[in-house]
Structure formats: structure tokens, C-alpha cells
Amino acid sequence: MARSRVGKMAVRRRGPWTKVLLALIVFVFCLIGWGGWRGWCALLESDFMTLQYLELEGCRVIPDSLVLRRLEPLLGRPLHTVKSDSLERALSDIPRVDRLRIQRRLPGTLRCRIEESVPTALWFDGRFVEIDRQGTLMPRFGNPPPDLPIIRASKVIPADSLRGLALLALEALKASDFDLIQEVSEVCAEQTGIVYIRSESATRVLLGWNDFMMRVRCYREVYQRIVVDGFPPELDLRFRDQVVARDSISAE
């Protein structure tokens, strides 16, 4: 019995030192973790990991200086916090910006690649402005207009409606087997509907107001015969099952 009591007393005497040792080990690990965390935070806040340089690629029409002015407020931020969403918001009021891709590089460099919207046609209402397939106006920033079909403003229908219908007609022509959009010089609206002018023969092609795919399909079926016979002054595609060739421009 005496030995048993001595043993218990010995165990009790060793207990406090064990707790101190464990506490010391925990403290050391916490100190190491805290130091590592502070070191990591210091690294993230250092010039090495802070946005200092912007590299820009892909601008064909948009001036580089315009994009850089919008992105300069981001300089000085931690590089890892700069997301593509924040950059896209900074450029949201530039219609030509379609997509933005970013690549982070050390030290402190952000490479931005701009993908510009592809114009579908030129809108003319006193001046030329490019428009994309949704009809969004895209400024040229002083550059000469490209060689694209011209949609001319008309008093027959509002500008937004005209652009929408003209783009639908161009889309139907582009979807044909041999890309009939290549022959389009100008598109306008008259009382009879959408009309386009062929670039080579100056033929007026009447498309009506709707069902452009069906009308183009009918035109495509007789296209080669028209090429052999020669293009007349006017082609009327407003009928569902035929193409009417006229030797003179109708007075409708």
C-alpha cells in the first residue's frame, strides 16, 4: 500500500511540468504561425506583389491611352485582388470592348488582352458609325470606316427598328450557301420593306419586312440563272414562292 501511495505522489509531481511543456510547445507553434502569417501579409503588400505595371494587347481601334486611363486607378492594389470583373466594369462604357483576359506576372505586372467586338455593318445618319450584330453603335475614334455594308437612316421607321431589321436581313444573306452578304452595298427601308443595293450591278433587291431566311432561300435557288441572264434593275423577293425580276424600278 505504501509503494502505491508513493507512486501516485510522484505522478502528481510530474503533472505541472508536463502542462508547462505542452503550453510552451503550443506557444512556439502559434508564434511560428503568426510570424509566417505576418510574413505572408508583408509579402502580399510589398512592391513585388503590388500592381505597378499594366501591359495592354489587342487594341486595334480603341486607343491604348483610353483603356490605360480607365485602368490606372487600380495601380497600387495587391495584385492578387485584381479580378477581371473589376477591370470589365472599368471599361463597361466603351462599346467596342467585347471581352477582357488578364494574366498576372511578377513583379507587380498585369497583362490585359482586349478582344474588340467585330463590326457587322456601318450605320449612316450624317456620319459613319460601326455597329455590331446586336445593333450597338461603336465609335471609330477617328479611324476611317472599313468596307462593310452601309445601313442608311430612313424616315419610314425609327433608327433602332431599322437597324434591327437590316441586321436580320444581313444575317439571312450571310447564312446562305455562298454568303450573299458579300454582294450587299447598302441597306435602307422604304414603304415596301427592307431594300438592299447590289454592289456590282446596282440592282435593288426588295426583301419585305419579315421572313428574310425564306426569301433569301428562294433567291438562292434561282441565283445562278439570274447570273447567266444578267441582273435586272430590280429583284422583288417579297413573294413566298418566286423571285420577280423587273426591267425598271417600281414606283411603289
Q: What pLDDT digit, counting tens, does each position of 27-80 carry?
A: 566 656 655 555 445 544 555 568 888 888 988 888 888 888 888 888 888 877
User: Please, what's the largest Cα pairwise distance for the chain?
Assistant: 131
Whole-model pTM: value is: 0.70
Q: Looking at 89, 116, 143, which one is the last position of a domain?
A: 116
Residue 251 domain flag: no
Residues 193 and 90 in one domain: no
* Shared-domain flag, residues 92 and 175: no
The pLDDT tens digits of the residues spanning 66-90 come to 888 888 888 888 877 788 887 888 8
28 and 112 belong to one structural domain = no
Same domain, 197 and 214: yes
Query: How many percent of the chain have pLDDT more than 70?
Result: 79
The verdict on residue 229 lying in a domain is yes
Label residue 20 by pLDDT band (50, 70, 90): low
Is 39 among the domain residues? yes
Total domains in the fold of the chain: 3
Q: Which domain holds residue 25?
A: 2-45
* Residues 126 and 139 reside in one and the same domain: yes
Is residue 107 one of the residues assigned to a domain?
yes
Q: How far is CA 202 from CA 15, 123, 125, 141, 198, in A?
A: 104, 19, 21, 31, 5
**Structural domain includes residue 74:** yes
Answer yes or no: do 91 and 140 share one domain. no
Q: How confident is the model at residue 6 (pLDDT cuts 50, 70, 90)?
A: very low
In the predicted structure, residue 21 carries a pLDDT above the cut 80: no
Long-range Cβ pairs for the range 109-112 (8 Å, 24+): 109/51, 109/52, 109/53, 109/54, 109/55, 110/51, 110/53, 110/54, 110/55, 110/74, 110/79, 110/82, 111/55, 111/57, 112/54, 112/55, 112/56, 112/57, 112/67, 112/71, 112/87
For residue 252, tell me if it sits in a domain: no
**Separation of alpha carbons 216 and 237, rounded Å:** 8
Q: Quick one: pLDDT at residue 35?
A: 54
pLDDT range class, residue 1, cuts 50, 70, 90: very low
Q: Are residues 126 and 152 in the same domain?
A: yes
Q: What is the pLDDT of residue 124?
A: 93
Do residues 174 and 231 both lie within one domain? yes
| Residue 104 forms part of a structural domain | yes
Question: From the CA atom positions of the chain, what is the Rg in Å?
Answer: 35
Does 210 map to a domain? yes
